[in-house]
Structure 1
Amino acid sequence: MVLPTQHLLLIPGRSLHSSPWKNGGGSTREIMIYPEQSDVQHFDWRVSIAAVEQEGNFSQFPDVDRHIMLLSGTSMVLHSDTTQHTLLPYQPYSFPGEASIYATLPHGSTTDFNLMVRRDRAQGTLQAWTEPYSGLLEAGHTLLHCAVGAHEIILGHASHRLEAGDTLWIRQPHEHQQVLKVQPQSTGNCLVYTHIHSLT
């Protein structure tokens, strides 16, 4: 993906390509990786959606902070050597990428949203928005992923409509300030808000 010279890009859900895992346990659709032309071993940050079909080990990513949020399915249980955490829909969870994690699926297959950030280069946050929002856009990289329903995104004088599966990427320079407004277009909507602040 070649990033535009301007600071905004709409990524339609239908344009995402699914890559099956080597172990056959699921597949991943990459939304964006930065810098562009990076791979899964060399990136500052990466945003993707994973379809998990069977239980198994998570891939380990040393020096990477991982943030995950369940988008569909009832639950996923993450087991490590010291803890156990149950993922529920739209509740983000963070853990170090070098941790040894085994995932079980008590109620069948799931879909999850993933943010991976190399901790010496950037910091990231993940939230689920279900209500209208209005506020100043933070400097750095922002991705708005429409998980359920449809949303109108108003940035400055421009308006963008996101359907389920679409993502809007915005890069906000530190010297600029814009107001971001989010308007759900019906009830039962969910927008995944991702923000990445570069440290370098």
Structure 2
Amino acid sequence: MQLIPPSGFETQPWKNGGGITHEIARKEERGRLLWRLSIAEVGSDGPFSAFPGLARILTVIAGEGLLLDTPEGRLSALPLAPLAFPGDLPADCTRIAGAVRDFNVIYDPRRIRAAVRVLGAGTESALGAAPGRLHALLCLGPGCRLGDTSLPEGAVSLVDHDANAVAEGAPALVATLDRI
């Protein structure tokens, strides 16, 4: 298990000045991104960055949410409702009511199958192991555990073995990355 506290995230401003990204972890192979986990702080409305050849799952973790206008129609990114869409889909973002924080999983869908699920407060879930599988547990509040290990609020734990995730006092997110 690898524990990454918020102080270990790499923070960088967006090129368009509309927010900042806190990169939690990433994996590359042969100079190409395999997957990236991050938290974005969306401070203003505007275009989303494009990630050609990649896919993304966005989950709002603070704020009222985002409306994403795309050539394929409007997508609603609402609190604790994972939203999957192509990384190269042009999207113009409108915040529903003020600033938003969201958790992002960006991945290469030719090499990775990804999913994000919400553990509601007071629930637990078994994280199963499989060859090439990695789980990332994001604690959205106090009272989060992985097995017997208590995790600090805002921290992310990366685990590639069987473990039991518990969200006691607040929800948590579990991102699962499976190598295809």
User: Normalised by the size of structure 1, how large is the TM-score?
Assistant: 0.83
What does residue 151 of structure 2 align with? 162
RMSD: 1.7
Q: CA deviation at 1:46?
A: 0.5
105, 111, 126: which one aligns with 2:116:
126
How far apart, in 1, do the equivalents of 2:10 and 2:164 lie? 29
Q: CA deviation at 1:150?
A: 2.5
178, 182, 188: which one aligns with 2:165:
182
| Superimposed CA distance per residue, residues 64-123 of structure 1 (whole angstroms, 9 cap, x where no aligned partner) | 111000000112101101211221110000001111111001311100000011011111
How far apart, in 2, do the equivalents of 1:32 and 1:85 lie? 26
Q: CA deviation at 1:136?
A: 5.1
Aligned letter for 2:155?
Answer: D
| Superimposed CA distance per residue, residues 41-64 of structure 1 (whole angstroms, 9 cap, x where no aligned partner) | x21000000000001111111111
How far apart, in 2, do the equivalents of 1:54 and 1:153 lie? 35
18, 25, 35: which one aligns with 2:11:
18
Matched-pair contact (CA < 8 Å) for 1:14–1:165 = no
How far apart, in 2, do the equivalents of 1:192 and 1:135 lie? 13
How far apart, in 1, do the equivalents of 2:126 and 2:145 lie? 15
What does residue 107 of structure 1 align with? 97
Aligned with 2:33: secondary structure? coil
Q: CA deviation at 1:36?
A: 8.0
How far apart, in 2, do the equivalents of 1:54 and 1:134 lie? 35
How far apart, in 2, do the equivalents of 1:60 and 1:169 lie? 26
152, 160, 166: which one aligns with 1:171:
160
From the superposition, tell whether residues 37 and 129 of structure 1 become closer, same or farther in structure 2 (CA, over 3 Å). Answer: farther
Question: Which runs of 5 or more residues in structure 1 are unaligned?
Answer: 1-7, 173-177
How far apart, in 1, do the equivalents of 2:59 and 2:14 lie? 19
| Superimposed CA distance per residue, residues 120-177 of structure 1 (whole angstroms, 9 cap, x where no aligned partner) | 11110011111422435142011001012231210xxxx21112110100124xxxxx
User: In the alignment, does 2:180 pair up with 1:192?
Assistant: no
How far apart, in 2, do the equivalents of 1:95 and 1:12 lie? 28
What does residue 79 of structure 1 align with? 69
Moved over 6 A (4+): none
10, 34, 41: which one aligns with 2:27:
34
Aligned letter for 1:146?
Answer: C
Identity %: 27
Aligned with 2:7: secondary structure? helix
85, 88, 106: which one aligns with 1:95:
85
From the superposition, tell whether residues 100 and 153 of structure 1 become closer, same or farther in structure 2 (CA, over 3 Å). Answer: same
- The count of corresponding residues between Structure 1 and Structure 2 is 177
Aligned letter for 2:102?
Answer: D
From the superposition, tell whether residues 110 and 136 of structure 1 become closer, same or farther in structure 2 (CA, over 3 Å). Answer: closer
Aligned with 1:43: secondary structure? strand
Aligned with 1:14: secondary structure? helix
